[in-house]
Amino acid sequence: MKKMESENRERGLSIRERLSSLEKEGKFVFHGSAREIEILEPRQPYIEKGEKHGNPCVATTPFADIAIFRAIVNEDNFSHKDYSSSFGFDSDKGIELCASQDILDDLGDKKGFVYVLDKSLFEKFSGMEWRSEGPVKPIEVIAVTAEDLSPNIQLIDKIDEK
């Protein structure tokens, strides 16, 4: 990982620019996590209120900014229950990243990892998600920090869970 970071510096690329260039190649999908993982194993995806969302899988996105957001803004980095965030993709609006003010105020030391994966091992699930039902070994693991986040995060109110 350090070798890749030094190569990026020599070329004058930030981590976000490096991931963006991989995204533009169209050969990769990305997975963001607060944890460093050697092989990504299928997990049960859920939607709101604990409802299962398809079969256990490795969920990825073709959008580097979403993976960076998920690597930084997650339950591991923000363990307090009252934080709120969301992300999505709209074919008209593009990528949407949203976070509550308490997250934006507490980004400073947060970090995570973006996994670069071979897109041919995944099937398209939606406009922003590709899935594999088998374990997947990353091509590259890139450490990210809050500095690598998109500057286009929208402010949202906290979601009250009752």
Q: Considering its fold, how many domains does the chain have in total?
A: 1
Q: Which residues contact 75 (CB under 8 A, 6 or more apart)?
A: none
Q: Report how far residue 86's alpha carbon sits from residue 39's, in angstroms, rounded to the nearest whole number.
A: 26
Profile the chain (162 residues) by mean pLDDT over runs of 10 residues.
Answer: 46 90 98 96 86 94 98 90 84 92 92 98 96 98 97 83 44
Q: What are phi and psi of 136, to 5 degrees?
A: -135, 130
Considering the domain boundaries, does residue 162 fall inside one? Answer: no
Considering the domain boundaries, does residue 108 fall inside one? Answer: yes
Considering the domain boundaries, does residue 85 fall inside one? Answer: yes
Report the pLDDT value the prediction gives residue 91, as an integer from 0 to 100.
85
Report the pLDDT value the prediction gives residue 160, as an integer from 0 to 100.
53
* Residues shown for the chain: 162
Q: Which of 79, 80, 65 is nearest to 128 (CA)?
A: 65
CA angle 152/141/149 to nearest 5° reads: 10
Q: Report how far residue 29's alpha carbon sits from residue 93's, in angstroms, rounded to the nearest whole number.
A: 20
Q: Find the domain containing 59 and state its range.
A: 2-156
